[in-house]
Amino acid sequence: MFLHEFFARLSHSAVGAWVNDSVPVFASVLAMHVAGLSLTLGIVLAGNVSVIWPGFAGHGPANERAPLAGLLSPFLLGLAITGLSGALLVSNAPDSYYFNALFAPKFQLLAVAVLAQLALAGIARSQTTMARAASRGLAVVASVAWIGVAILGRWLGFI
């Protein structure tokens, strides 16, 4: 219930009221959520594909040793934009979102995606055979989970 209380409080805050009382502001936050998610997934999928398929986006030993180098900070920025805008969107109707049948699965899948992505960022530099296999497995799991998060997010509006 912590999340529900958080969204309810956000809904009654000055920022929540500002977002929820204005259609252009609410639509801007919605557009920010889509843009943030697109940025996050673009970075994630480009990086993960280059882990699965080392020749993607440039051959070379440096790329194969550190396939995700230079992607972590922009990924975290995209995630922050998506998370912040998402929280403001949920604050528009905390009850209907929180008790939506897809809300919990979306967050569970998001947790899997983020954890798999961070674990991947941690082991992708390792050159052992086992680490490479684990990296590829994590890259697949994370990519599928991220796409699932986007799909569940859209279906929240239909259930």
Partner 1 sequence: MSAVPGWVVTLHDLPASVALRESELLFPVLQTVHVLGVVLLFGGIAVLDLRLLRLLWPRRSPAAVVTAMLPVSWMGFAMLVASGLPEFAAQAVALHANPYLRAKLVLLSLALLNIALAHGTVFRGLGRWSSDASVPASARAFAAASLVLWSGVIYTGRMIAFT
Among 6, 26, 92, 123, binds partner 1 (CB under 8 A): 26
Q: Does 80 bind partner 1 (CB under 8 A)?
A: no
Tell the smallest beta-carbon distance from residue 102 to partner 1 (Å).
12
Round to whole Å and give the CA distance between 126 and 65.
7
Q: Does 147 bind partner 1 (CB under 8 A)?
A: yes
Q: What torsion, rounded to 10 degrees, do the Cα atoms 39, 74, 157, 139 define?
A: 90
Round to whole Å and give the CA distance between 146 and 10.
26
Whose structure tokens read 């050159």?
127
Q: Does 62 bind partner 1 (CB under 8 A)?
A: yes
Tell the smallest beta-carbon distance from residue 2 to partner 1 (Å).
28
Which range of residues in 7-15, 29-37, 92-100, 108-116 is near partner 1 by CB under 8 A?
29-37
What is the phi-psi region of residue 20: left when phi exceeds 0, alpha when psi lies from -120 to 50, beta otherwise?
A: alpha
Which range of residues in 41-49, 101-109, 124-132, 134-142 is near partner 1 by CB under 8 A?
41-49
Mark residues 83-112: x for contact with partner 1 by CB under 8 A, - for none.
Answer: ------------------------------
Round to whole Å and give the CA distance between 108 and 153.
12
Q: How far apart are the first and last CA of the chain?
A: 21
Among 30, 76, 123, 140, binds partner 1 (CB under 8 A): 30
Whose structure tokens read 């929240």?
156
Q: Which residues bind partner 1 (CB under 8 A)?
A: 23-24, 26-28, 30-31, 34-35, 37-43, 45-46, 56-59, 62-63, 66, 69-71, 74, 147, 150-151, 153-155, 158
